[in-house]
Structure 1
Amino acid sequence: MFTRAVSRLSRKRPPSDIHDSDGSSSSSHQGLKSTAKWASSLENLLEDPEGVMRFREFLKKEFSEENVLFWLACEDFKKLEDKKQMQEKAKEIYMTFLSNKASSQVNVEGQSRLSEKILEEPHPLMFQKLQDQIFNLMKYDSYSRFLKSDLFLKHKRTEEEEEESPDAQTAAKRASRIYNT
């Protein structure tokens, strides 16, 4: 049984172990198109930890970081199965983002706000309606500005420069092999 697990693991190599034909690692090729993925949809951006980090950085400058933090907290909440953990996390989300005294209050429609009573019987989708509101707010407001921001455009330029760099190095390696033989 142990050998089957080991053989399965050895077949599934992480991207960092993949090598180009010249023996150099191609792990740099894996992340190079991240800005293209981020630009294709907010969903893709939010699935990429670096994308989330860059988007948070942008939202912080716009004084609306609480939106993505709320969205992420709701995603984490949906994964919980333990009732006690759910109660604690639900209360934390409520106190941080939804209550009138929240330290990072999100801008959701008043009638959609939850009362503290609902926190006693939490369920995985209890914040879904509010999370959807915040997602749409980010999608139709902040996200489009993020894609036009200096922060995003600089990252995209850096990515493009790095993409060109390995090709130049490969050509230089080939040239040195030809002239040094």
Structure 2
Amino acid sequence: MASDRAQIRRRLSRMDSASRSPRLCWRGPNTCCFCTCLTVRNEDNDDCSRRASTISMLESLQKHEESLTVRNEDNDDCSRRASTISMLESLQKHEESLTVRNEDNDDCSRRASTISMLESLQKHEERGSLSLEEVTAWSQSFHQLLKNPTGRNILMEFLQSEHSDENILFWLACEELKREDHIANIAEIAKSIYLDYISILSPKEVSIDASVRETIDKNMAMPTADMFDEAQVQIYVLMQRDSYPRFLNSPIYKSLLQNITASANALDSQL
């Protein structure tokens, strides 16, 4: 009995010690399901941490690139604006230079034209082709001015200085057409007048109403000597209203009238 009790005690002691010592998985060390799950979870946590760190770095790089892009775009905008401003300033200076040159050229052209007209007037005076009555009559009636050959020439020179001589040239061409009798010549002159003064492609196109222009276009199929009469009247009124008052106030006419008056007074004093 004593030996049996000793054996039982030894067995209980072994069982107690066995229960107190850690148990190992029957599959061997590090092969327990629970251990494996813990390992996998740790690896997943490490992967998540690395992914979060990588995403954070990528977002930071993206923001940095966007910031650099905005800065580059701002710099490009500033460069383009500066270049545009520089070009505009250069163009403005060029235009100002051209304007000054054009004004100088216009002044020179007007002076040359005035000198030429004064020389022409002087020649007329020397020839004695003008009288005080004629020159005075020009200021009383536009019709008297156009009827006088010398008056027409002086008026044409004045209109050339204003770059509007196409009006009187058209009026004179219409007068020439109305004096023509031959049908063939009428057609030829009418075509020439149309191309020179009526066509919208002509650099010397006169200003007439659209309805009058349409009528002329229709009549060009069978031209007549009086087909431009309505247009001629409109140009006559235009010259009488606009060009004629400026002519009477121009230095050319005033100088002519003054010289003719002085010459007439000198002749009267000698008598």
Partner in structure 2 of residue 14 of structure 1: none
Task: Give the match's secondary structure for 1:108.
Answer: coil
In structure 2, relative to structure 1, the CA distance for the partners of 1:28 and 1:109 (3 Å cut) is same
Matched-pair contact (CA < 8 Å) for 1:38–1:45: yes
Match of 1:120, as an amino acid? A
Partner in structure 2 of residue 50 of structure 1: 150
Partner in structure 2 of residue 22 of structure 1: none
Matches within 5 A, 1:99-138: 99-114=199-214, 115-138=216-239
Partner in structure 2 of residue 98 of structure 1: 198
Distance 1:127 1:163 in 2: 41
RMSD in angstroms over aligned alpha carbons?
Answer: 1.9
In structure 2, relative to structure 1, the CA distance for the partners of 1:161 and 1:86 (3 Å cut) is same
Matched-pair contact (CA < 8 Å) for 2:197–2:206: yes
Matches within 5 A, 1:27-176: 28=128, 31-114=131-214, 115-170=216-271
Distance 1:113 1:144 in 2: 27
Distance 2:159 2:202 in 1: 18
Matched-pair contact (CA < 8 Å) for 1:29–1:163: no
Matched-pair contact (CA < 8 Å) for 1:33–1:159: no
Measured after TM superposition, the shift of residue 41 of structure 1 is 0.9
Q: Which runs of 5+ in 2 are unaligned?
A: 1-126
Q: Max radius of gyration: which structure?
A: 2
Measured after TM superposition, the shift of residue 158 of structure 1 is 1.1
Moved over 3 A (4+): 27-30, 114-117
Matched-pair contact (CA < 8 Å) for 2:132–2:257: no
Query: Relative contact order, CA 8 A, sep 6+: which one is greater?
Result: 1
Distance 2:221 2:211 in 1: 20
Distance 2:220 2:251 in 1: 41
Please state which structure has a larger fraction of its residues in helix: 2
Matched-pair contact (CA < 8 Å) for 2:142–2:240: yes
Q: Which runs of 5+ in 1 are unaligned?
A: 1-26, 171-181
Matched-pair contact (CA < 8 Å) for 2:187–2:223: yes
Measured after TM superposition, the shift of residue 92 of structure 1 is 0.6
- CA offset digits 1:49-107 (Å, max 9, x no partner): 11011111111111111001100110111111100010010001000001011131111
Distance 1:53 1:29 in 2: 13
Task: Give the match's secondary structure for 1:101.
Answer: coil
Distance 2:268 2:251 in 1: 26
Distance 1:82 1:103 in 2: 29
TM-score by length of 1: 0.73
- CA offset digits 1:113-152 (Å, max 9, x no partner): 1455522312221101100000000011110111111111
Question: Between Structure 1 and Structure 2, how many residues are aligned?
Answer: 144
Matched-pair contact (CA < 8 Å) for 2:208–2:235: yes
Matched-pair contact (CA < 8 Å) for 1:87–1:122: yes
Distance 2:177 2:129 in 1: 33
TM-score by length of 2: 0.50
Task: Give the match's secondary structure for 1:46.
Answer: helix
